[in-house]
Structure 1
Amino acid sequence: MITTSILFGFGDITAQSLFKHQIITTKTDEKTGEKYEEVEISDYNFARTCRAVIYGMLFFAPISVMWHGKTLPKLKNPFINILERTRMEQHEHSQRKLHFYDSVFRMGIDQLIFPALVWIPLYNTVMVILAQHDDPFGVIKSKLENNWFNVLKASWTVWPAFQLFNLYFVPVHLRIVTANFWATGWNCFLSFVHNTAGHGKGSGHKIEELVDIEDDDQEITMVYD
């Protein structure tokens, strides 16, 4: 829990430092009555880092231990029958093949279930509640409707290959720590994609904040048409 919280906090600090947000507000000139846009670069948000630390420590770490450390290693590829599995376990070369087949199956189960049904909904729910929005469940519903599939697609471009490597080569007791280091880069990756033309800000598409929950004012001005 301590390691995860530190890495989540570090990931958020890195993302805020490398990819600063442009807060765009529409104002009206008092003399001419004409509307204009004012662009402001957001400052470092300490509360956002605290929310990332809390999420990593109290939610991501315990669930990850139970899933990646306790449950996933026990799953076996069901497409290999008992007789074939017994035969493969008797030879060193076949053992490596069996381990690979099991790792592929575990990676598939992990990537099909957890990002879509656990991590993305949980992250949005926890971070919105910690941000103390007036209508948290409305904000959660809006974020999941707008961003759930976008984040899931981004996740599938980054995590499956890493998880296969993690499950095949890394010992069970080190897998969560390894995943946490990779997640630091994942957090920055999402911020990078979100700030790249054609993928969010400046793309001409309406999109809400993918990665971070800001305060109420920023929650409104982070929406682009």
Structure 2
Amino acid sequence: MAYMWRWYQGLMVRHPWKVQITTAGSLVGVGDIISQQVVERKGLPNHDGARTAKMMLIGFAFVGPVIGGWYRVLDRLVPGTTKTVALKKMALDQGAFAPPFLVGFMSIVGTLNGLTHPQILDKLRRDYPDALLANYYIWPAVQIANFYFIPLQHRLAVVQCVALIWNAYLSWKSNKK
């Protein structure tokens, strides 16, 4: 396991952007697998592989680039690593970034699932408030620790590891009929 971690860290040094995006996409996919198999209890024969592929695509094309880019912007907006800086970053992250990010995520899932614009708006009206509230139960504490203890190049990976459960929740919430 230590060898794997050193290998991963070496890749992060050589190809930080690619590795962050690949990690995010993979872990969003794993979150969907957890959602289908543990939360929804579909069983392997009924697993929706196309849904998992869509969720991975969203992780590769949206989650990884957007969150990774946001962390870079946030570090420029609020430089430093003190406790006060971590609190400011968390406040910006949860107040300015999380709400529109969640709308984007849920809208992309709806679009890939073939929903029309009015159907997506209905889904957002129905599911967004619960998802945002759940976000506020989980992420402020995680983000304070992330911004205080974790170097920039590892933040997305740390968040995505913590987010396995969050990704499973979002997959369930975004894909439920």
Residue in structure 1 matched with residue 77 of structure 2 by the alignment: 75
The amino acid across from 1:71 in the alignment is V
Structure 1 CA distance, aligned partners of 2:142 and 2:93?
12
Structure 1 segments of 4 or more deviating over 4 A?
none
Structure 1 CA distance, aligned partners of 2:47 and 2:172?
18
Residue in structure 2 matched with residue 114 of structure 1 by the alignment: 97
Percent identity between matched residues is 25
Residue in structure 2 matched with residue 18 of structure 1 by the alignment: 38
Aligned length: 155
For the pair shown, the structure with the greater C-alpha radius of gyration is 1
Structure 2 CA distance, aligned partners of 1:76 and 1:114?
14
Displacement of 1:128: 1.2
TM-score by length of 2: 0.79
Residue in structure 1 matched with residue 14 of structure 2 by the alignment: none
Displacement of 1:180: 0.9
Question: Does residue 53 of structure 1 match 2:56?
Answer: yes
Displacement of 1:172: 0.7
Deviations 1:74-124 (A, max 9, x none): 2238xxxxxxxxxxxxxxxxx9xx71111101100100112212x211111
The amino acid across from 2:121 in the alignment is K
1:61-210 maps to which residues of 2 (within 5 A)? 61-68=64-71, 70-76=72-78, 99-117=82-100, 119-133=101-115, 136-188=116-168, 190=169
In the alignment, structure 1 segments of 5+ residues that lack a partner are 23-41, 78-94, 192-208, 220-225
TM-score by length of 1: 0.63
In the alignment, structure 2 segments of 5+ residues that lack a partner are 1-20
Structure 2 CA distance, aligned partners of 1:123 and 1:179?
16
The amino acid across from 2:175 in the alignment is I
Structure 1 CA distance, aligned partners of 2:85 and 2:56?
33
| 1:128/1:21 CA distance change after superposition, 3 Å | farther
The answer to which structure has the higher strand fraction is: 1
Say which SS state the counterpart of residue 212 (structure 1) adopts.
helix
Question: Does residue 211 of structure 1 match 2:173?
Answer: yes
Structure 1 CA distance, aligned partners of 2:41 and 2:157?
29
The answer to which structure has the higher helix fraction is: 2
What is the aligned-residue RMSD (CA, Å)?
Answer: 2.3
